[in-house]
Amino acid sequence: MGFFDRLKSGLSRSREAINEIFYMGGEVDEDFWEDLEDTLVMGDMGGELAMRVTDDLREQAARENLTRADQLRDALAKRLAQEFRTADRDPFEDVPSCVLFVGINGAGKTTTVGKLAGRARGEGKSCLIGGADTFRAAAIEQLEVWGTRAGVDVITRERGADPASVCYDVVEEAEKRGSQLVLIDTAGRLHTSSDLMRELAKVVNVTRKRCTSMPVTVVLVIDATTGQNGLAQAKEFNDALDLDGLIVTKLDGTAKGGIALAISDQLGLPIYRIGVGESIDDLETFDALDFCRALVGEGK
Amino acid sequence: MFNSLSERLQDTFDKLRGKGKLTEADINVAMREIRMALLEADVNFRVVKDFVASCKEKCLTAEVLDSLTPAQNVVRIVLDQLTELLGTTESKLVLAQNRTPNVIMLVGLQGSGKTTAAAKLAYLLKGQGHSPLLAACDTHRPAAADQLATLGTEIGVSVYRGDGKDAVKVASESIHEAVNHLNDIVIVDTAGRLQIDEEMMQEAVAIKQAVKPDQILMVVDAMTGQDIVNVVQTFAERVDFDGVIMSKLDGDARGGGALSVRAVTGKPIKFVSMGEKPDSLEVFHPDRMAKRILGMGDVYGIIEQAQKVADQEQIDAAERMLREGFTMDDLLNQMQQIRKMGGLAKIISALPGGERAMAQQGGIDESSLSRIEAMIHSMTKEERARPKIINGQRRKRIAAGSGRSVQEVNQLLKQWGEMNKMMSKMRAATQGGSKKQRRQMQSMMRNMGMGGGMPGGMGGRGWGM
């Protein structure tokens, strides 16, 4: 199954919902627009953005005389794709590179680090994992399992150690070894706990300061099932840490990833990767148009 | 970012003021606001539609339309409806009386917080005099059993890990383990699974058949969006569950999913999980949840939080303050407590109408707190204990040390003086004193509250919470 199919099957639920609308005869009436707005809302896009997108499409339909469902679908996919910013640089390809993963609890940071390490190793890059989640029980063990699977060394300290000092160690070790890709996992935290956010800001600052030999990228990992709170999360993390981009995980369920669109629209952050499955290869490069086409149910 | 529903409705009705009587069209406008508020809170859009329709019907009565305060009436109706939908009574954990051990099984998506919830539940039950055993049946996620084992050690509950390979086998063995070790409750932590992952759903069903749990609780992340309906529906059909634990409610997610879960499956929310600590599992209160979903300020939550951060030491300190007066260290302490509760802005926004007041003031400047902290940190121990000894020279030094101006130091000392005065009056009032004095004190206490106005977070007499 190719990437596009996988993504499509992951997004099938929202696609079916949108298809329902598009197949409702050729007639495009007031109900059509209302239903379209609801469907976009159901994709976790947020009420405001959904309304704006629908209004835009409506205007465009009138202007360009689009009356057929497939025309509208194509226009909608392109319209949605515009909301995404493209990344100037891929921090996982353009090496040497140091990437810090941040996010709330359970977003999938550790798993993402594990998968990316395995991928980099497979491509012949020298990779190093930093375990700066010294808070959660067994987070280090979990990372070490991933490290062993991927054949990548994990640099960390005992539970309860200062995460900033772990980052310092990791960067030092990476420079000594000449590692090409450094992936640092941090402890999950809610964006509302100000003490923990300050701690994370320190971790990021120490890493940015210490790491002079390669660019440091700070990536927010966000769960595709997240609702409107995802926007608040992204804003807080961005304010505290000056994020570089996003990774959206768990797109393989019936989740829609509409929140990614809302975040990208509001904060202008590029999406580096999306997780569309369980295995190592299921972390894919993000393509806005493909994503949106799959979302509105358009064939290849 | 989110305006509370009551404010939005107030704004809507403000525009309609002078119309005398509300029409159905006016109610429609209000209903649109309600719809948006619920959607922002991640309530599923189908649930929103039904809910808004039923609310509209109730609002279209003469009682509401003719009333002088339609906004309040509409809010009350919405709130009552929402509370009722969320469950009018607190639902508790039901355990079978005639079976030992009782078995509680936890299910849910990846990353929803099952393992943490399992440990919290064990801690809660242990506190109630039970002897729980945790069964580590998440054999998929690396080191999940290690996590449970670590948490188990922390809370003093034993964990059964088995061979760590076959989840069903570990689950059934854990029952024997519980019998052998006289545990009366087994909490089965399972692997996170997607509802469309057939293989994993079958595993959950197999575990269920093997251990025949008395209660199956589904752990649901409060931040989940619209997709929650698909998730809970499938889980309800395949494994079926008795109740829900909402996790991660310590964030600022409005948790509209709670309403969707109730509306779609009819299952009650039994617990809410509010943080990292093992004691942060709380009984679900529908009324509080309703207010939270509508963004209406959680006064109880703030009070509880204040109680949590105020430990015995601080109670002793308060008594000492009454006895010996108020020192700069006390002031510092109070400000750090405000920090612990998430800062002034958070506290004020949790009060009804607080967000509106804050918007009018142009927001709260949290940095004034840090400036005061810096000045106090620049004082010597003696100066902090007896601020009266701070003369001109010392003020100059403190100003230089903290990078602030002498005027600011003066202002701080003046505020301290006022607070100290108040403290000594309070002392007089507590040690007997006339009726008049007591009345004076009552009005003073009122002034200490939020009413005093806190431009830029400072300037008032308002640190005392």
**What are B100-146's pLDDT values in tens digits?**
899 999 999 988 989 999 999 999 999 989 999 999 999 988 889 99
In the A/B pair of chains, how many CB contacts fall below 8 A?
152
Could you check whether B5-86 and B102-296 share the same CATH topology? no
| % residues pLDDT > 90 (chain B) | 29
| Most confident by average pLDDT, B66-80, B174-188, B410-424 | B174-188
pTM above 0.80, yes or no: no
Looking at the domain that runs over B5-86, which CATH code has it been given? Answer: 1.20.120.140
Q: For chain B, how many residues are written?
A: 465
Which two three-digit tokens encode residue A92? 């996982």
The 3-class secondary structure across A202-218, one letter per residue, is: HHHHHHHHHCCCCCEEE
Cross-chain CB nearest to A47 (options B36, B144, B248): B36
Looking at the domain that runs over B310-457, which CATH code has it been given? Answer: 1.10.260.30
Q: Do A142 and B147 touch (CB under 8 A)?
A: yes
Terminal-to-terminal C-alpha distance of chain B: 25
* Whole-number Å distance between alpha carbons of B34 and B30: 6
Cross-chain CB nearest to A227 (options B42, B111, B149): B42
A105 touching B (Cβ < 8 Å): yes
* Whole-number Å distance between alpha carbons of B405 and B398: 9
Tens-place pLDDT, residues A192-206:
888 899 999 999 999
* Whole-number Å distance between alpha carbons of A269 and A35: 29
Which residue of B38, B110, B138, B339 is the best one to mutate when testing the A interface, meaning the one whose CB has the most A CBs within 10 A? B110
Q: How confident is the model at residue B87 (pLDDT cuts 50, 70, 90)?
A: confident
Strand order, beta sheet including A181-186:
A153-156, A127-132, A181-186, A97-102, A216-223, A245-249, A271-275, A283-285
Shortest alpha-carbon distance between residue B455 and chain A (Å)? 22
A147 touching B (Cβ < 8 Å): no
Q: How confident is the model at residue B460 (pLDDT cuts 50, 70, 90)?
A: very low
What secondary structure letter does DSSP report for B175? H
Cross-chain CB nearest to B111 (options A108, A144, A146): A108
* Whole-number Å distance between alpha carbons of A254 and A9: 9
Shortest alpha-carbon distance between residue B231 and chain A (Å)? 8
Chain B residues near residue A228 by CB distance under 8 angstroms: 39-42, 225, 254
Chain B residues near residue A227 by CB distance under 8 angstroms: 42, 223-226, 228, 253, 256-257
* Whole-number Å distance between alpha carbons of B394 and B397: 5
Which two three-digit tokens encode residue B24? 């159905």
State the sign of the Cα–Cα–Cα–Cα dihedral A91, A97, A103, A107: positive
A193 touching B (Cβ < 8 Å): yes
Identify the helix (H) or strand (E) that includes residue B308.
helix B299-309
In chain A, residues 162-191 whose CB comes closer than 8 Å to chain B: 190-191
Tens-place pLDDT, residues A149-189:
889 999 999 888 999 999 999 999 999 999 999 999 999 99
Q: What is the per-residue pLDDT for B459?
A: 36
Q: With 80 as the cut, is the pLDDT of residue B59 above it?
A: yes
Q: Which residue of B has its CA nearest to A227?
A: B225
Shortest alpha-carbon distance between residue B252 and chain A (Å)? 7
Looking up tokens 């966000």, which residue turns up? A222
Tens-place pLDDT, residues A119-152:
999 999 999 999 999 988 889 999 999 999 889 9
Q: Do A258 and B225 touch (CB under 8 A)?
A: yes
By DSSP bridging, strand B185-190 and strand B269-273 are unpaired
Shortest alpha-carbon distance between residue A224 and chain B (Å)? 9
Mean pLDDT along residues B310-325: 66
In chain A, residues 50-89 whose CB comes closer than 8 Å to chain B: none
Q: Which residue of B has its CA nearest to A110?
A: B142
Residue B107 β-bridge partners: B218
Chain A residues near residue B146 by CB distance under 8 angstroms: 137-138, 141-142
Q: Do B146 and A253 touch (CB under 8 A)?
A: no
Which residue of A229, A239, A247 is the best one to mutate when testing the B interface, meaning the one whose CB has the most B CBs within 10 A? A229
Q: Of B245, B193, B241, B191, which Cα lies nearest the Cα of B220?
A: B245
Q: Which residue of A has its CA nearest to B110?
A: A106
Q: Do A250 and B150 touch (CB under 8 A)?
A: no
Shortest alpha-carbon distance between residue B248 and chain A (Å)? 8
Q: How confident is the model at residue B289 (pLDDT cuts 50, 70, 90)?
A: confident
Cross-chain CB nearest to B221 (options A106, A193, A258): A106
Q: Which residue of B has its CA nearest to A226?
A: B224
Q: Of B370, B348, B372, which Cα lies nearest the Cα of B359?
A: B348
Which two three-digit tokens encode residue B279? 């004691």
Tens-place pLDDT, residues A88-99:
899 999 989 999
Question: Which region, left, alpha or beta, applies to residue A124 given φ > 0 means left and ψ of -120 to 50 means alpha?
Answer: left
Q: With 70 as the cut, is the pLDDT of residue B379 above it?
A: yes
Q: How confident is the model at residue A295 (pLDDT cuts 50, 70, 90)?
A: low
Q: Per CATH, the architecture of B102-296 is what? A: 3-Layer(aba) Sandwich (3.40)
Shortest alpha-carbon distance between residue B343 and chain A (Å)? 8
The 3-class secondary structure across B59-108, one letter per residue, is: HCCHHHHCCCCHHHHHHHHHHHHHHHHHCCCCCCCCCCCCCCCEEEEEEE
Q: With 70 as the cut, is the pLDDT of residue B311 above it?
A: no
A109 touching B (Cβ < 8 Å): no
Mean pLDDT along residues B329-346: 75
Chain A residues near residue B340 by CB distance under 8 angstroms: 195
> H helices within chain A, ranges in order?
3-10, 12-22, 30-42, 47-64, 69-81, 109-122, 139-150, 163-177, 194-210, 229-241, 258-267, 288-296
A146 touching B (Cβ < 8 Å): yes
* Whole-number Å distance between alpha carbons of A148 and A186: 19
Cross-chain CB nearest to B226 (options A42, A139, A235): A42
Chain B residues near residue A187 by CB distance under 8 angstroms: none
A13 touching B (Cβ < 8 Å): yes
Shortest alpha-carbon distance between residue A125 and chain B (Å)? 24
Q: CB neighbours of B115 closer than 8 A, spacing ≥ 6?
A: B138, B144, B147, B148, B151, B189
Q: Report which of residues B316 and B287 the model is more confident about.
A: B287
Chain B residues near residue A105 by CB distance under 8 angstroms: 111, 113, 248
Residues A47 and B39 sit within 8 Å (Cβ to Cβ)? yes
* Whole-number Å distance between alpha carbons of B189 and B107: 7
Cross-chain CB nearest to B42 (options A108, A114, A228): A228
A133 touching B (Cβ < 8 Å): no
Chain A residues near residue B142 by CB distance under 8 angstroms: 114, 141-142, 145-146
Shortest alpha-carbon distance between residue A192 and chain B (Å)? 6
Q: Do B142 and A141 touch (CB under 8 A)?
A: yes
Cross-chain CB nearest to A107 (options B45, B111, B343): B111
* Whole-number Å distance between alpha carbons of B412 and B459: 9
Q: What is the per-residue pLDDT for B353?
A: 60
Which two three-digit tokens encode residue B254? 């409005």
Chain A residues near residue B363 by CB distance under 8 angstroms: none
Cross-chain CB nearest to B225 (options A38, A225, A252): A225
Q: Which residue of A has its CA nearest to B35?
A: A47
Domain boundaries, chain B: 5-86, 102-296, 310-457
Strand order, beta sheet including B269-273:
B158-160, B132-137, B185-190, B102-108, B215-221, B243-247, B269-273, B281-283
**Range with the lowest mean pLDDT among A70-74, B186-190, B379-383, B430-434?**
B430-434
Q: Do A145 and B143 touch (CB under 8 A)?
A: yes
Residues A270 and A84 sit within 8 Å (Cβ to Cβ)? yes
Mean pLDDT along residues A55-83: 82
Q: Of A77, A81, A50, which Cα lies nearest the Cα of A66?
A: A77
Cross-chain CB nearest to A41 (options B39, B257, B343): B39
